[in-house]
């Protein structure tokens, strides 16, 4: 609710985000009660002198409100150009400025294998016209201190009143004569691709994508998501085709807000946009309406290394704007999970401390609406959180809401409505919705009246209709090992479905291990696979250089191992060493961002262990605990999964190709500032060096890395003589 703003570059941005405060996340409700009565620690007692002489009666309770003010909805004018463009004008002369929103009400269309091209087309429109280069557009917009942006839905432009004519001229040029320059197209595509690369590592983005695919299905436009492949397939022609087909006046609205009258706006708009040609063959594709699933499923996406599970409980529903149910259903949703004091947030955050915030949405839409409730929760409370979600869903369905709570919800909603009217844009939005959804003329004017009439029975009826824990997708993105066993109970058939990050179903084969197979045998066949015990034992030293590209920079990792206990590793970026670790077998040191220092004790022992080229050879003698955990697919191959715990308690998991015996993946638990995280290495490209197979490529991910890092060996020497200076500890 209240946000604390730091004065920083990002401060003003965060100001607008309404993330709930974390307050009280750890305090239990009961504790609060006992503490409220306890005044011993009370600071105010110490400052009692301030209060002494003040007569207090009126201070003891909240003042009664004055008579309710009359909420006046601003009015609008509208007219239609001969080409079919509907113009809505909302006058507001408080400030000398005007804004124009051109909204192209195009139907939803299937983008299929080119998903993402509509957004790129919209972005491109302001990047050049037949008579202006991008730089000219930029200069002319800035010269009048204006804003002009384009997207797939149209154009938004605003400026001071005195620059209106120039602004509309620029807007019309961008709208009617875009040139779709190739170079700008390439730039936007590149930026979109790097955006997607970042999302890959983000569990919330994965949840958003998978949720959409499951809720609507891939055949419906709402269920289509952009991937690297689909963006790669976007062509300039596709973008032009979209513009040429759908940017037409007879399906568009121009919403004008501010210091202007309809009489002033009309000739100007006629002049600049009158020549915009309408079209009679705008396709109106239809799609099968997505339905709620027959029964509740648990749909899981594995994000190894995740420390939180992202939960979304969701399904499509049929609720169109303007239907009678919309307002009572929104009261229901606000109460359940739509504001800070909502039941879900109070339960999961304030009472149980499972999350920073839990919320729900219930949206109407002219094609298909949806319900969604969710939270990000610690791994270990994933199942407990689902229990609480279900409890709140059932409670809202089965128990009638009390008058006090209903009043709080409705007061909060009417206040929000009243406050929103301060902005003339709100009036404009209401007008646009009234047109688009063919709402009754007084739909918004009577909103507060309709809201005040919603009663407890209505809320319950809405809950029974729209809160359907029995017909939901429970989408969980999280760490499979920590989470998946405990959540099957929430699906109707007690099973968990697995999906990849793009919502494609993944078949997990339930495979039983070959009889008699043990972890030791898996390790033994690995040694055999890389060259056999004799050859492997002969390797006493190794030096290698690995390189990776990281956002255009070259990362170089240099590693030297001399058995039994000499080791040196350095990591440099753009030529300068960022991290270094060395031990000469007696002493150790490391240097990095935290400074340079000696390494001692357990940490030194661990460092010496890293001198071992094939640590597997010493597992038995050193007392490592190994456990064979089963068969799991790695990159489409079946692999044996072995959990390994060192004598000092360090945990890792290795995966061995069932067919070749080679180690193909390794996950190591690391400590990131007190939080557990996993770093994963995919081990590939084995090549033989002096009779021993050494992997030449490692793809590292997780553990705080923003994106996967592909390290490739550029130089390797086995059984070489290593200059002793390399292991020197200063």
Partner 1 sequence: MKPRILLLAFLLLGLTAAQAQMNKVNYTEYTMDNGLHVILHQDNSTPIVAVTVMYHVGSKNEKPNRTGFAHFFEHLLFEGSENIARGEFDDYISNAGGMNNANTTYDRTFYYEVLPSNQLATGLWLESERMLHAKVEQVGIETQRQVVKEERRQRIDNRPYGSVLEESMKRAFTKHPYHWSVIGSMDHLDAAQEEDYVNFYKDFYVPNNAVLSIAGDIKIDEAKAMIDQYFKDIPKGTKPIYRPNIVEPPLAAEVRDTVYDNIQLPAVVQTYRIPAQGTDDYYAVDMLSTLLSQGQSSRLYRALVDEQQTALFVGNFPLALEDPGASIAFGIANMGVSLENVESAMDTEVDRVKNELISEREFQKLRNQIENDFVTSNSTIAGIAESLANYHMYYGDANLINAEIDRYMKVTREDIMNAAKKYFHKDNRVVLYYLPKPTDP
* Sites for partner 1 among residues 384-423 (CB under 8 A): 407-408, 411-412, 414-416, 418-419, 421-423
**Cβ at position 209, least distance to partner 1 in Å:** 11
- Closer of 497 and 679 to partner 1 (Cβ): 679
* Sites for partner 1 among residues 60-89 (CB under 8 A): 60-72
Give yes or no for a contact between 226 and 212, defined as CB atoms under 8 angstroms apart: no
Binding residues for partner 1, total number by CB under 8 A:
123
**Which of 327, 358, 451, 546 contacts partner 1 by CB under 8 A?**
546
Give yes or no for a contact between 441 and 482, defined as CB atoms under 8 angstroms apart: no
What's the farthest any 2 CA atoms get from each other in the chain? 93
* Sites for partner 1 among residues 693-722 (CB under 8 A): 698, 700, 703-707, 709, 711
**Which of 94, 441, 495, 509 contacts partner 1 by CB under 8 A?**
94
**Cβ at position 249, least distance to partner 1 in Å:** 28
What's the angle, vertex CA 581, arms to CA 576 and CA 583, rounded to 5? 140
Provide the phi-psi class of 606: left if phi over 0, else alpha when psi is between -120 and 50, else beta.
alpha
160 binds partner 1, rule: CB under 8 A:
yes
Query: Residues 636-675: x/- map of binding to partner 1 (CB under 8 A)?
Result: ----------------------------------x-----
**Cβ at position 433, least distance to partner 1 in Å:** 20
17 binds partner 1, rule: CB under 8 A:
no
- Closer of 74 and 321 to partner 1 (Cβ): 74
**Which of 108, 550, 637, 722 contacts partner 1 by CB under 8 A?**
550
**Cβ at position 459, least distance to partner 1 in Å:** 17
Torsion of CA 558, 562, 563, 567, to 10 degrees: -50
**Cβ at position 312, least distance to partner 1 in Å:** 19
Residue 413's contacts (CB-CB under 8 Å, 6 or more residues apart) are 330, 331, 334, 451
DSSP class of 128: B
The CA distance from 388 to 395, in Å, is 10
Tokens 């009660």 -> residue: 33
* Sites for partner 1 among residues 331-390 (CB under 8 A): 339-341, 356
- Closer of 99 and 372 to partner 1 (Cβ): 99
Give yes or no for a contact between 156 and 167, defined as CB atoms under 8 angstroms apart: no
534 binds partner 1, rule: CB under 8 A:
no
Mind giving me the DSSP string for 535-592?
HHHH--EEEEEEEEEETTEEEEEEEEEETTTEEEEEEEETTEEEEEEEE-SS-EEEEE
**Cβ at position 578, least distance to partner 1 in Å:** 5
Stretch that binds partner 1, among 213-221, 312-320, 325-333, 550-558 (CB under 8 A): 550-558
95 binds partner 1, rule: CB under 8 A:
yes
Give yes or no for a contact between 570 and 579, defined as CB atoms under 8 angstroms apart: yes
The CA distances from residue 336 to 329, 341, 385, 648, in Å, are 10, 9, 15, 47
Stretch that binds partner 1, among 58-66, 216-224, 432-440, 629-637 (CB under 8 A): 58-66
Residue (of 574, 579, 543) closest to 713 by Cα position? 543
* Sites for partner 1 among residues 586-615 (CB under 8 A): 592-593
**Cβ at position 711, least distance to partner 1 in Å:** 6
Query: Residues 285-314: x/- map of binding to partner 1 (CB under 8 A)?
Result: ------------------------------
The CA distance from 428 to 296, in Å, is 40
Cβ count within 10 A of residue 722: 16
Query: Residues 195-234: x/- map of binding to partner 1 (CB under 8 A)?
Result: xx-xx-----------------------------------
């Amino acid at each position: 609710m209240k946000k604390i703003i730091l004065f920083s570059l990002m401060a003003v941005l965060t100001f607008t985000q309404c993330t709930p405060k974390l307050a009280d996340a750890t305090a239990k409700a009961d504790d609060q009660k006992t503490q409220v009565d306890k005044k011993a620690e009370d600071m105010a007692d110490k400052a009692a002198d301030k209060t002494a002489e003040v007569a207090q009666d009126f201070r003891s309770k909240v003042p009664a409100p004055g008579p309710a003010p009359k909420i006046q909805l601003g009015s609008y004018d509208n007219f239609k150009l001969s080409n079919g463009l509907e113009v809505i004008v909302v006058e507001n002369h408080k400030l000398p400025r005007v804004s124009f929103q051109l909204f192209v009400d195009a139907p939803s269309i299937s983008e299929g294998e080119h998903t993402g091209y509509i957004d790129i087309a919209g972005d491109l429109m302001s990047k050049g016209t037949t008579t202006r280069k991008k730089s000219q557009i930029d200069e002319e917009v800035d010269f009048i201190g204006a804003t002009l942006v384009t997207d797939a839905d149209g154009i938004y432009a605003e400026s001071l009143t005195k620059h209106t004519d120039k602004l509309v001229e620029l807007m019309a040029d961008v709208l009617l004569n875009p040139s779709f320059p190739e170079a700008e197209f390439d730039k936007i595509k590149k930026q979109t691709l790097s955006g997607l690369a970042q999302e890959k590592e983000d569990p919330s983005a994965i949840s958003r994508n998978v949720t959409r695919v499951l809720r609507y299905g891939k055949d419906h436009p709402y269920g289509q998501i952009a991937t690297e492949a689909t963006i790669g397939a976007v062509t300039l022609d596709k973008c032009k085709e979209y513009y040429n087909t759908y940017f037409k006046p007879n399906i568009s609205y121009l919403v004008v807000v501010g210091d202007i009258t309809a009489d002033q706006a009309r000739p100007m708009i006629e002049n600049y946009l009158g020549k915009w040609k309408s079209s009679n063959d705008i396709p109106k594709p239809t799609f099968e309406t997505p339905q709620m699933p027959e029964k509740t499923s648990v749909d899981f996406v594995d994000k190894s290394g995740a420390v939180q599970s992202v939960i979304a409980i969701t399904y499509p529903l049929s609720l169109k704007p303007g239907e009678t149910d919309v307002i009572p259903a929104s009261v229901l949703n606000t109460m359940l999970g739509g504001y800070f004091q909502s039941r879900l947030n109070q339960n999961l955050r304030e009472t149980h401390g499972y999350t920073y915030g839990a919320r729900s949405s219930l949206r109407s839409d002219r094609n298909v609406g949806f319900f969604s409730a969710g939270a990000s929760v610690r791994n270990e409370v994933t199942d407990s959180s689902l229990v609480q979600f279900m409890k709140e869903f059932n409670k809202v369905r089965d128990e009638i809401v009390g008058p006090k709570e209903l009043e709080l919800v409705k007061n909060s909603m009417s206040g929000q409505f009243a406050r929103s009217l301060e902005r003339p844009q709100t009036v404009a939005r209401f007008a646009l919705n009234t047109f688009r959804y063919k709402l009754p003329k007084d739909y918004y004017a009577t909103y507060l009246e309709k809201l005040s009439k919603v009663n407890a029975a209505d809320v319950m009826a809405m809950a029974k209709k729209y809160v359907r824990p029995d017909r939901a997708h429970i989408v969980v993105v999280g760490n499979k090992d920590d989470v998946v066993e405990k959540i099957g109970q929430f699906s109707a058939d007690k099973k968990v479905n697995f999906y990849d990050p793009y919502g494609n179903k993944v078949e997990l084969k339930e495979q039983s291990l070959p009889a008699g197979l043990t972890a030791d045998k898996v390790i033994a066949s690995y040694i055999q696979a890389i060259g056999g015990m004799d050859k492997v034992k002969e390797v006493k030293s190794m030096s290698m250089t690995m390189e990776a590209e990281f956002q255009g920079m070259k990362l170089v990792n240099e590693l030297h191992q001399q058995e039994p206990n000499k080791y040196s590793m350095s990591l440099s970026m753009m030529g300068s060493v960022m991290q270094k670790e060395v031990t000469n077998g007696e002493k150790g040191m490391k240097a990095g961002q935290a400074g340079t220092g000696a390494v001692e004790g357990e940490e030194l022992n661990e460092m010496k262990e890293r001198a071992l080229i094939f640590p597997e050879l010493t597992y038995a003698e050193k007392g490592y605990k190994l456990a064979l955990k089963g068969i799991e697919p790695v990159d489409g191959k079946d692999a044996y999964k072995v959990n390994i715990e060192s004598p000092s308690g360090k945990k890792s998991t290795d995966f061995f190709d069932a067919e070749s015996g080679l180690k193909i993946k390794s996950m190591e638990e690391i400590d990131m500032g007190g939080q557990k995280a996993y770093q994963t290495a995919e081990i590939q490209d084995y090549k033989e060096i002096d009779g021993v197979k050494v992997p030449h490529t490692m793809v590292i991910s997780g553990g705080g890395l923003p994106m996967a890092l592909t390290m490739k060996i550029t130089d390797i020497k086995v059984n070489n003589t290593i200059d002793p200076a390399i292991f020197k500890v200063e």
